[in-house]
Chains A and B, each alone.
Chain A
């Protein structure tokens, strides 16, 4: 089976959410539309709907995360699901239990969904290939491969501010090489019909194959930011870097850090995004991160709605499709 087919059930509905790659535009729009509906739940007195009552969702985080794990947990709880947070550092895998043994044990506890973050690219796919037919898997970030819910919450935030994707120029700035977020964003922006996607960064951290993804590569921030509608800043991922790819944080900030002065090159109503956690003074100036064009905290709020949408789409499929899978 092709890699992207595993995400869909026999009726073409979303069963696993592992990557944006291969998903049709309508599927991405459905996720955004469902998320739009769920966004009102957070403003109510009782921030909860009974949609996934009785379902059990296990958060398997093999890599540290605060924002993603807590927003997945909140999303599940707002859908009335029961949530297990498995802390891998203290779990039996440190006693030598294999990943698959742990999965099968959790399946034996009637878990309906795994939300997986792992430092190896392909981990979520691997798990999706081995789970029981009724179980769904959501990729919460695997190595430098994909982070589909982050990309969709970014698309949601862009749509809230800019409406029409087909008129936009979007710049992604920074460590493209190590960024699963950037990869998923590029696939989503392309699928949704954004005519111009730019990646901006030093040669050492922009992968050679970037141009094949249908993006324009800039090594000069002044040029790259001209007239863009959306600026997405990425975190410098020192934990994934081997060797000396960058001179110093100070020099990086000088060349590629987003300052108020550089932001003036973008359109006056451009929005500034960042998946977090932000390194103030490394990739973004504090006054920009906290400034009027920043939508960084909105992204966090929207993350809950988008994760509610993905979870309920994956767990709300007909039981007939499960049997045929």
Chain B
């Protein structure tokens, strides 16, 4: 495919601001004052890091690496990975904001929920994502999404972090197989 998709509507800083605002409103509506935030490694953790600062969340940020909970492990094997999960708090009876960059099939969120429940029993889990796209394979939807878009099944949306430029985050749409 030679046609380049347009990244229209993917103004990443604006989407991050919108996500932060919408999530702040949702937490207020639900009277959640002291949530725990968990980002899914790696893109979700980057987004969570931004939200953690902009919403001034008191508890430390947690990260999940869902490799050990993937449902395709016996088909594609181990992934090289750099960081293990780190939840520096007790999740029991706490309100959790689970953050990912893109909600696609829903399988990552399924794996993340399973892992969180191996740490304890949270009071609630809110799912916040930067982009909610189509092609869901499981009954999972985001509570907050900065944007919702439809893509061709062959297209992938990816979050990149520029380590040479203040860790600025940018979304891009890529053609896959």
A318: CB under 8 A from chain B?
Answer: yes
Query: Is there a chain B Cβ closer than 8 Å to A98's Cβ?
Result: no
Contacts of B115 in A (CB 8 A): 49
Q: Quick one: which of A13, A30, A33, A315 contacts B74, CB cutoff 8 A?
A: A315
Contact of B69 among A50, A312, A316 (CB under 8 A): A50
A41, A45, A319: most-surrounded residue (chain B CB, <10 A): A45
Given A37-B84, A44-B119, A50-B114: A13 in contact with B77 (beta carbons within 8 A): yes
Within 8 Å CB of A317, what residues of B? 77
Q: Given that A315-B74, A318-B75, A318-B77 are known contacts, is A45 also in contact with B84, CB under 8 Å in the complex?
A: no
User: Are B118 and A319 in contact, CB atoms less than 8 angstroms apart?
Assistant: no
Q: Would you call B119 and A312 a contact (CB within 8 A)?
A: no
Give residues of chain B (65-124) contacting chain A, Cβ–Cβ below 8 Å.
65, 67-69, 73-78, 80-81, 83-86, 114-115, 118-120
Assuming the contacts A51-B68, A318-B76, asked whether A40 and B85 have C-beta atoms less than 8 A apart, the reply is: yes
Please determine whether A51 and B73 come into contact, CB atoms closer than 8 angstroms.
yes
Chain A 37-69, CB-CB to B under 8 Å as 1, else 0, gives: 111110011101111000100000000000000
Asked if B118 and A46 sit within 8 Å, CB to CB, the answer is yes
How far is B81's CA from A313's CA once the two chains are assembled, in angstroms?
A: 13
A316 near B74 with CB under 8 A, answer yes
Evaluate contact between B84 and A36: CB separation under 8 angstroms: yes
Q: Which of B65, B73, B118 contacts A45 (CB 8 A)?
A: B118
Contacts of A40 in B (CB 8 A): 84-86
Query: Are B74 and A319 neighbours in the complex by a CB distance under 8 Å?
Result: yes
Option from A39, A50, A315 in Cβ contact (under 8 Å) with B68: A50
List the A side residues contacting B86 at CB < 8 Å.
40
- Scan residues 20-63 of chain B and give those whose CB is less than 8 A from a CB of chain A: none
A-side interface residues, number (CB < 8 Å):
25
Contact (Cβ within 8 A) B78 A44 = no
Tell whether, in the assembled complex, residue A37 and residue B118 are in contact, meaning their CB atoms are under 8 Å apart: no
Q: Is the CB of A49 within 8 A of B75?
A: no
Give chain B nearest CB distance to A30 CB in angstroms: 7
In the complex, the answer to whether B118 meets A48 with C-beta atoms within 8 Å is yes
Contact A313 B118 (CB under 8 A): no
| Cβ contacts under 8 Å, A41 to chain B | 68
Q: Is A218 interfacial (CB 8 A cutoff)?
A: no
Cα(A313)–Cα(B85), bound, Å: 19
> What is the CB-to-nearest-CB distance from B19 to chain A, in angstroms, rounded to a whole number?
29
- Asked if A252 is at the interface (CB within 8 A of a chain B CB), the reply is no
Do A45 and B120 touch across chains, with their CB atoms under 8 A apart?
yes
* B116 shortest CB reach to chain A, Å: 11
Q: With an 8 A cutoff between CB atoms, is A34 at the interface?
A: yes
Residue of B nearest to A41 (CB): B68
Contact at B77–A49, with CB atoms within 8 Å?
A: no
CB pair B119–A46 under 8 Å, yes or no, is yes
Question: In the complex, are the beta carbons of A37 and B81 less than 8 A apart?
Answer: yes
Verify B120–A312 contact, CB threshold 8 A: no
Given A30-B80, A36-B84, are A44 and B73 also a contact pair (CB < 8 Å)? no
- Contacting pair B78 A312 (CB below 8 A): yes
Nearest-CB residue, chain B, relative to A320: B75
Cα–Cα distance between A48 and B115 once the two chains are bound (Å)? 10
Q: How far is the CA of A117 from the CA of B80 in the complex (A)?
A: 29
Q: Which of A227-241 contact B (CB under 8 A)?
A: none
Q: Can you name the residue of chain B whose Cβ is closest to the Cβ of A50?
A: B69
Q: Most chain-A Cβ atoms within 10 A of its Cβ — which of B65, B67, B73, B77?
A: B77
Q: Considering the chains assembled together, what is the distance between the CA atoms of A312 and B74 in angstroms?
A: 9
Measured CB to CB, the closest approach of chain A to B69, in angstroms, equals 6
| A316-B74, A316-B77 given; 4 more Cβ-contact pairs under 8 Å | A45-B119, A48-B118, A50-B69, A318-B76
Interface set of A (CB-CB < 8 Å, partner B): 13, 30, 33-34, 36-41, 44-46, 48-51, 55, 312-313, 315-319
Shortest Cβ-Cβ A-B pairs, 8 listed: A49-B68, A46-B118, A316-B77, A37-B84, A40-B84, A316-B78, A51-B68, A317-B77
**Can you sample 19 A-B contacts with CB below 8 Å?**
A30-B80, A36-B84, A37-B81, A38-B68, A38-B84, A39-B84, A41-B68, A44-B119, A45-B118, A45-B120, A48-B118, A49-B68, A49-B115, A312-B73, A312-B78, A313-B77, A316-B73, A318-B76, A318-B77
